[in-house]
Every structure is written in C-alpha cells, then in structure tokens.
Chains A and B, each alone.
Chain A
Amino acid sequence: MKIFWKRFKRNKLAVAGGVIVVVLFVIAVLAPFISPFNPNDIDRKHILEPPGARHPLGTDDLGRDVLSRMVYGSRISLSVGFIAVGIATIIGMLLGAVSGYYGGWTDRAIMRFIDIMLSIPTFFLVLAVIAFVGPSIWNIMIVIGFTSWMGVARLVRAEFLSLKEREFVLAAKALGASDMRIILRHIMVNSMAPVFVSAILGVASAILVESALSFLGIGVQPPTPSWGNMLTSGKDNIEIAWWLSLFPGVAILITVLSYNLFGEGLRDALDPRLWTSER
C-alpha cells in the first residue's frame, strides 16, 4: 500500500485527474448552491446571449443560463456513469467468477456469450432498446450497464484462473471452506484492484455513451439538462451561438479525461511488473 501510494503520487497527471474527479463530485453534490441561476428558468429577454458578465457562459435558445445547466448536467453524467458501471461490474464479477472458478462447460458457455456480446455493435442495440422502452435516465443506466460488463468478466475470470490454484486457496479448500466462501473471501478480495481500475475507466466510457445518446435525442430528455442534450441545441444553433457547442463539450472532455488519467494512474501504480523497470 505504501509503495502504491508513493508510485501513484509520482504520476502528476494521475493525481491531477484524481483531484478533478473529486472536485466534479463536489460540484454535482452542491449544484443548487453553486449555480448562479435556476437551470430551467426561461428568460425570453436574454435569448442566445453570448458569454458576458451576467451569464459567464452565455444563454441558450430559451434564455436559460448555460453555466447553471452545465453544473446540473454534471449530476446526470456522474450518476449515469456510476450506476451503469455499478451494474456492469456486478454482472461482470458474477459471470467472471463463476466462469473462472468452475471452468468446464460453464466456462465455455459464458465465454461464448461474451464473444457474442462483443460482436454485436452494442451501440446499435442500446439505441434500439432505449428508443423502445422510452428514454428515461434509469433505462439509460440499466441498458448501458447490461451492455458493458464483458471487460470486467474477462478480467475477473483471468484473476480467478491464476488465483484458484494458489496455496492459500488450496489450503482453504482443504480446511473445508465452501465454494461460496472461497470465491468471495479468498479469491474475489484479491482480485479487487484491477476491477476497481476498470470501473473507474468504465465511468468515463459510460459518460461518453450517455452524452452521445442524449445528443441524438434518445437519452436524457429536455428540460432536464445533460451535457449531451445541451450540445443538441448547440448543433441547432451552430451558425449563431458557438458557446452552446463549445462549453458542454469541454465539460465532457474534462470529466472523461480526468477519470481516464486517474484510472490509468491507478493501474500503473498497482502493476508490479512496472515496479522494477521504473527509471
């Protein structure tokens, strides 16, 4: 743990990413106190106003404050990111554990299922299902979660394959521990680190998927602000209001970037293979 912390601290970008992740979290929680306006207040007198003293990031086509909408949008992005990844991680861990621990035909069946899931253009499927069941934020979280668990499953399976023959597991088995206990208490605990890293990286990609869906108009529905649907109005006003297209995208970029930097930094710090070859 000490080595890990030392190595992580040395990676300045990863630390910066981690700090921004925390800051974004705080912004989302404190949204009502931070945003200068109510995100849904329509102001017909100040439509499509460029950034200025009153509205630091301008207003949209209904006169709503862009900054306030972005602050509230962070709530949507983060909650979709976390819950979708939570679902994906649980499914992935479950299938990966069963597959790696029991092996045999269970393993073959699950691996084949993963192959199938990886060969479907998942974005198409996500699009279709959400359009059918109706674009609510819960549906988006669930559908993204159910279509992005494959990486975790493979990861957990690999960990199980390498850990299940190790002495401490064999010892537990010899002492008569149940399968359930071995899986949860002995192997899963030891494979949590890579799962955690992939979850952090997963948040970033879930946020990207959500924003794309909202941009296409089948994600989070207006008037609820999300970075993706704000960009839709940016596209509609592309010839007159550059700020509508610019700022929400910057928010997505910064968020995804910091999650990626943070996640990769953690991974490098956790990877013992990189410890010796460090300059």
Chain B
Amino acid sequence: MRYLIEHETILDYPQTVREHHIELRLAPRSDRHQQVLSCSIETEPAAELATYTDYFGNRVDYFCVIPPHTRLITRLRSDVETVKENPFSFEAVQPGEEQEWLHKAIRNAPPMNDFVLHRSLLTPTAMKLAEATSHAFPRREKERPVLESLQELLAWVPTVMEYRSGSTEVHGSLTTAVAQGGGVCQDFAHLFITVARSWEIPARYVMGYLDPGISQAGDTLTTHAWAEALVPGAGWIGFDATHNLLTNDHYVAVAVGRDSYDAAPQRGSFKGEASGAQPAVSVTMQEQQ
C-alpha cells in the first residue's frame, strides 16, 4: 500500500512561553516492511531542524524556538510504501530450540535485555499486575511454539480490556486500565508486552499509524500503538492487541521503545508561566494510487 500521512500538532498556551525545545519522533522508519518515499517536517514559528538517531534506532528531529510565543505548530508530511507479506513465511525454529535461539539473540545484542527486563508503571511486573487486578494471566507452556503462544496472548488481551476512547491518560498506569477493564491502544500494547516479558520473550512498544478503514478509533484518527515481539527464526513480528491482528501492510511504524514514554511522538521543555498545553493533534492517512 502507499499512504500519504499528515500529522499536525498545535500547542496553544494561555501565556507566552520562551526557550522552547522540542524533540519529535514522527518520521516513519524504513525497514523491510515499509519504505519512506518522502518525509518533511515544518514548524510554526519556523525553526532550524536537526536530527539524530536515538538509542532505540528512532530518528529524532529536534529544534528550538527561543523568542516568546503562545503557539507552536509542527507538521509532518510523509509518503510511505508498505509491503504486503505473509507473517508466517519464515523458517521456524524447532520448539525445543526456541529458548536457546532467544538467549543467543539477547547475548549477541545486549540492548535486547531492555525488552525483557524493563519494568515501569506502563509495563509492570506481570505477577504484581495480576495480583492487583485479580486476573488469571496466561502461562506459557515451554514446549509450545513461541508464535503460537503469542497469538493466544494476542487474543487474550481484548478479553481483559475493551477499547474505550479517552478512557486512560497518556503514559497512565497499566494497572488502572486493567482494573477498569478498558483502555486505549497504548494500554492494549502495554498489556501484551507485560505478559510477553514475563515469558522472557523480548517485546517492545511501537508507535505508528493504522489505516483508518481498519482502526477502531474511526474518524478521530491519531497515532496508533501496538507491540512487537521477537519470534525465533522470524525476528520482530507486530502484534496489534487492540484489533487482535498481526500487523500487515495497513500499518506504518514510526518509533519503538521499551514503553510509550520512549516512543512519544513529541517531547518538549520551555520556560514561562504557562503550564503545559493540551496538544491539538490531527492525523490524516490517505491511500495513494
């Protein structure tokens, strides 16, 4: 598929702010699933953008607006081509050897440890979450193939939570979402990640876009979130727990991290009397011919 994505964020402040520094993780990544044909970011007031690649491999665009201002707008426009593939077409590793495959993958790339060891309010210890919410969490039988276990997990997450737009706060605790039985896509992704990590399978958070034709969010399109888990023989495979789907060519991935905090699309710091503004975000994703 080919998509034109536009993502605009408007920050309005009741008083002037100054010395405003912003980091954006908005540029879609390029990998074997998707190719970025064009990508541009503009800001209002106009600023000089610089870029670097962060620890998780995300492209970060950053800039500053020093003089006093009350409004800051960022606009991304990107043309991305996604590739349709069969997520099951890989050379599977024998179930008995999968654990060793994962251990080796982690040993060869120590940063992979983060995707197993990281715990936060967003991705807590599974046992504590289960206790706090009195849910029976699925256990993994070691002789079952990893992918099969993960698919069961994918189907299990929506039985615990239902999708409720605006029901939880950005970077809010996962325990709250599970306890109230409802959340948004971040919560679904975090729950999937939390359980996968308790099985010692590396799992990470993905922020990106989903074709509005499929998305539960419908008209109020914003960014979407899902999880990726490391599957022996295949590498990272995308799991969208909100829709109980393996990700496909309707998904455009932007940034990854240990949890939603690492992959936040926009982060800023400013000086001034105003407290933080509620960002007005509008996203469009149009299929291109």
Our verdict on whether A and B bind, yes or no, reads: no
